[in-house]
Amino acid sequence: MGRRRQQEDAGEPTTRRGQRQEDRQEFGRGGSATRYKMREKLVSFGDDFWIEDEHGDRKFKVNGKMLRVRDVLIFEDLRGQELAKLDSKLVAVRDKMDIERVGGKSARLTKDLLNVLGDDFVMKFDGGDEIKLVGNILDHEYEFRRGRDKIAEVSKKWFRIADSYGVQIEAGEDDIMILAATVAMDQSSHDVK
């Protein structure tokens, strides 16, 4: 359990210093993780929305294209360059979702069949790399883990805005693939509700 939770459980005030120490402990020296702000239920095909950093600056656009044959979510940078693609047809199938990274590896999200009790997922990349999504997907409180290392976390604890949650990603990880997986999980969780 993190120090912040221990402090909250003990009734101690959470300090900025304590939070920084916790972040360094969880995400490496120097607090190198990047935090993004996401909004629940805004993922909709045909609509566009922005992924912002924790300061409210726009970082990535998610373009919901409605095509004749299928609907696609396209992740773009600030200049409109396509970074990744998520197909609605694949999102609708809860236990398999494909994310295509432009100029990079693709990944498939599948339900973790080894974990019969939880609602965990596994993100398998073309090259064999594997990342587990562990925690409460429906409530936006889960982690991305490579082996025993936490490389990203999804949580509502960083933002007090209704229907918002944060995604914190360790430096050196592929932010776009993790954000795309988060959007896919958000979409599938709302399909379930």
Q: Give the C-alpha separation, 67 to 45, whole Å.
A: 10
Structural contact between residues 153 and 168, judged by C-beta atoms closer than 8 angstroms: yes
Structural contact between residues 69 and 84, judged by C-beta atoms closer than 8 angstroms: no
11 and 101 in a single domain? The answer is no
Q: How many domains does the chain have?
A: 2
68 and 22 in a single domain? The answer is no
5 and 64 in a single domain? The answer is no
11 and 41 in a single domain? The answer is no
40 and 50 in a single domain? The answer is yes
Q: What is the pLDDT along the chain (193 residues), one digit of tens a residue?
A: 444 444 444 444 457 566 556 655 555 555 677 889 887 655 554 567 889 988 889 999 988 765 444 567 889 999 999 999 987 565 555 567 889 999 888 999 888 766 555 668 999 999 889 999 999 888 889 999 999 889 999 998 877 777 788 999 998 999 999 999 998 888 766 554 4
188 and 137 in a single domain? The answer is yes
98 and 162 in a single domain? The answer is yes
Quote the Cα angle for 15-157-42, to 5°: 150
| Enclosing domain of residue 9 | 1-32
22 and 84 in a single domain? The answer is no
The helix or strand, by DSSP H or E, that contains position 177, with its residue range, turns out to be helix 175-192
120 and 131 in a single domain? The answer is yes
15 and 107 in a single domain? The answer is no
8 and 71 in a single domain? The answer is no
The helix or strand, by DSSP H or E, that contains position 186, with its residue range, turns out to be helix 175-192
5 and 94 in a single domain? The answer is no
